[in-house]
Chain A
Amino acid sequence: EIVLTQSPGTLSLSPGERATLSCRASQSVSSRYLAWYQQKPGQAPRLLIYGASSRATGIPDRFSGSGSGTDFTLTISRLESEDFAVYYCQQYGNSPCSFGRGTKLEIK
């Protein structure tokens, strides 16, 4: 099973700042099958990014994904108040699919 390590565990930033979240895989992720999800308290996860860099339907362009192989990044260019949440990366190219432990993005 591919293990995904997300860093940092918690990121404290202010609205308007840039956020950079990292996801490192224990082995290469097939065909860039790497996704990012956002989860707010009491809600289900929401798909943000798939294929490492493609935005899901309705996702603002301040969210962007990059990377390949074993290193991936989610960037939020200018944080808005609704962006403070927990973010998970997921690889879905190898079975079983696996999730990282999450990065909590909190207001500084």
Chain B
Amino acid sequence: EVQLVESGGGLVQPGGSLRVSCAASGFTFSSSWMSWVRQAPGKGLEWVANIKQDGSEKYYADSVRGRFTVSRDNTRNSLSLQMNSLRAEDTAVYYCARSVLPSAAALLQHWGQGSLVIVSS
């Protein structure tokens, strides 16, 4: 069974940093493109970033480029999102998701339960 478990969310002040992580199991992590998708309270879904199987390609939404960094550790089956210079509008549930296509096209078959990040003073 595919499992994606996020951790690391919490309350952070504007301008601060936070790292959310995702532990993957039940599939060959090193063979999958992985994405982060976020959802602000009461709002819709917003794709944030994705990363290629070997970490050699990374893509970001304009809203986070230059502030967020996606990375992965295939030896630990782990995905991370380092978030710097956080703003109030980054407040959201952050989902880790697995794409089932062998390309950057993010068709997201499996999702974690999400990790809540609140940016507030």
Contacts and interface: CB of A to CB of B under 8 A. Distances in A.
Contacts of B107: 33, 35, 47, 50, 92
A44 B44 contact: no
B105 A93 contact: yes
Interface string B97-115: 0000100111111011110
A101 interface: yes
Nearest to B49: A96
Contacts of B106: 92, 97
What is the interface of chain A mostly: helix, strand, loop, or mixed?
Answer: loop
B104 A44 contact: no
B113 to A, nearest CB: 6
Contact of B111 (A44, A50, A99): A44
Interface in B47-69: 47, 59, 61-62
20 contacts: A33-B105, A44-B111, A44-B113, A45-B95, A47-B107, A50-B107, A56-B109, A90-B108, A92-B106, A93-B105, A96-B47, A96-B61, A96-B62, A97-B47, A97-B105, A97-B106, A99-B44, A99-B45, A100-B44, A102-B44
